[in-house]
Chain A
Amino acid sequence: MPGAWNTFPPMPQGDQNKPPGPVFSQNKSPHGYLATGSAYDDAIAAVLENYQVRVATFYAATASAGATWTPQPLPPSPITVKNVVEEKVPEPPRVLAWLDSLSLIPKSIREPYLGDLREDLAEMTRAGASLVRIKWKLAVEGVCLLARGLVRILELLRGLGG
Chain B
Amino acid sequence: MKRVRDLTRVEVAILAALTSKERYGLEIKGTLEKMGQRMSLAGLYTTLARLENDGLLTSKWGEERVEVRQGARRRYYEITGLGQKSFDQTKEVLRKVFRLAPGAARFVQEGV
Q: Is the CB of A111 within 8 A of B43?
A: no
Number of A-B contacts (CB under 8 A): 60
- Is B75 interfacial (CB 8 A cutoff)? yes
CB-defined contacts of B49 to chain A, threshold 8 Å:
106, 109
Q: Is the CB of B46 within 8 A of A112?
A: no
Which 3 residue pairs spanning A and B have beta carbons closest together?
A: A115-B72, A112-B75, A115-B69
Q: Contacting chain B: which of A3-11, A116-124, A128-136?
A: A116-124
Q: Is the CB of B42 within 8 A of A113?
A: yes
Q: Is the CB of B68 within 8 A of A144?
A: no
The interface on chain A, measured as residues whose beta carbon lies within 8 A of the other chain's beta carbons, has a size of: 21
For B40-76 the 0/1 string (1 means CB < 8 A from A) is 1111011001000000000100000010111011110
Other CB < 8 Å A-B pairs besides A115-B66, A148-B43, 10 of them?
A106-B49, A111-B73, A113-B25, A113-B45, A116-B69, A118-B68, A119-B26, A122-B68, A144-B42, A148-B46
Majority secondary structure of chain A interface residues (helix, strand, loop or mixed): helix
CA distance A140 to B75 in the complex (A): 22
Majority secondary structure of chain B interface residues (helix, strand, loop or mixed): helix
CA distance A140 to B66 in the complex (A): 25
Nearest B residue to A97, CB-CB: B70
Q: Is the CB of A119 within 8 A of B73?
A: no
Output the residue of B24, B29, B49 with the most chain A CB within 10 A: B49
Q: Is the CB of B41 within 8 A of A118?
A: no
